[in-house]
């Protein structure tokens, strides 16, 4: 599903974010990418959805070499992304935020309504569909972000520190939700430095430090 072959990423002026990383994540896996702040977790995630290019090495997603593609739009329609800071549009309703990727994909209006209502039911926020992000708690906003991330039924869900701004109770709810999505067949890659999450929800762990894989 996701393969890195000797991937290195260097940012100017010569800062190594990743050094000779080789890894394979299989279809349907739930995988943690962990390590201290600055270890290279976010860079690794960004490389998967082609938010940045590797300096060296090859990256394959679903058997396709994405290393040098010029237009990653199609790739990104197949990958859902959840960030630590939610990235919701503050002046759009919850319904509108979730509908955005479907509108971009050209889905018909009646299908958008059905899909958004389903997703908001799935994350437990259908009753708040006409609310605005600032009217929700942090945990609720992250659930909206997850609904938006899976709107186009992606093969892969990337979650970059999705519980970083949440208290422990809300963080546990978010991981349960990601686990439920994984059970539907979606490959989930979750970057976190939280040892509590790793102990509460065991799964495969890839640990990075100073840009290198130090353990699995």
| pTM as predicted | 0.93
Q: What's the structural domain count of the chain?
A: 1
21 is a domain residue: yes
User: What confidence tens digit (pLDDT) does each residue in 166-178 have?
Assistant: 888 889 999 999 9
Describe the crossing of helices 94-104 and 138-149 by its angle, rounded to 10 degrees.
20
- pLDDT attached to residue 72: 83
E strand residue ranges, 12-164:
15-25, 30-34, 56-61, 64-65, 79-82, 156-160
Q: Does position 69 have pLDDT exceeding 90, yes or no?
A: no
Domain span holding position 11: 2-66+74-87+137-143+150-215
* % the chain with pLDDT above 90: 80
104 is a domain residue: no
112 is a domain residue: no
Tell me whether strands 187-192 and 156-160 are parallel, antiparallel or unpaired: parallel
116 is a domain residue: no
The CATH code of the domain that includes 169 is 3.40.50.300
Q: What is the mean pLDDT of residues 122-140?
A: 95
Q: What is the mean pLDDT of residues 154-161?
A: 95
Confidence of residue 111 (pLDDT cuts 50, 70, 90): very high
45 is a domain residue: yes
156 is a domain residue: yes
- pLDDT attached to residue 68: 80
Q: Does position 80 have pLDDT exceeding 90, yes or no?
A: yes
123 is a domain residue: no
15 is a domain residue: yes
């Amino acid at each position: 599903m996701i393969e890195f072959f000797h991937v290195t990423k260097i940012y100017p002026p010569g800062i190594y974010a990743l050094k000779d990383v080789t890894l394979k994540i299989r279809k349907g896996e739930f995988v943690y990418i962990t390590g201290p702040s600055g270890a290279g977790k976010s860079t690794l995630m960004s490389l998967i959805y082609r938010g940045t290019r590797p300096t060296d090495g090859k990256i394959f997603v679903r058997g396709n070499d994405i290393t040098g593609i010029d237009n990653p739009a199609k790739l990104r329609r197949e990958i859902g992304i959840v960030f630590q800071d939610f990235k919701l549009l503050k002046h759009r309703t919850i319904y509108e935020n979730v509908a955005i990727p479907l509108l971009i994909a050209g889905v018909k209006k009646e299908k958008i309504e059905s899909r958004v209502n389903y997703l908001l039911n799935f994350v437990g926020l259908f009753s708040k569909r006409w609310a605005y992000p600032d009217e929700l708690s942090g945990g609720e906003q992250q659930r909206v972000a997850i609904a938006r991330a899976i709107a186009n039924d992606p093969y892969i869900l990337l979650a970059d520190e999705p519980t970083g701004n949440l208290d422990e109770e809300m963080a546990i709810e978010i991981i349960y939700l990601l686990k439920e999505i994984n059970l539907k067949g979606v490959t989930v890659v979750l970057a976190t430095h939280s040892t509590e999450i790793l102990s509460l929800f065991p799964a495969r762990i890839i640990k990075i430090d100073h840009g290198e894989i130090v353990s699995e």
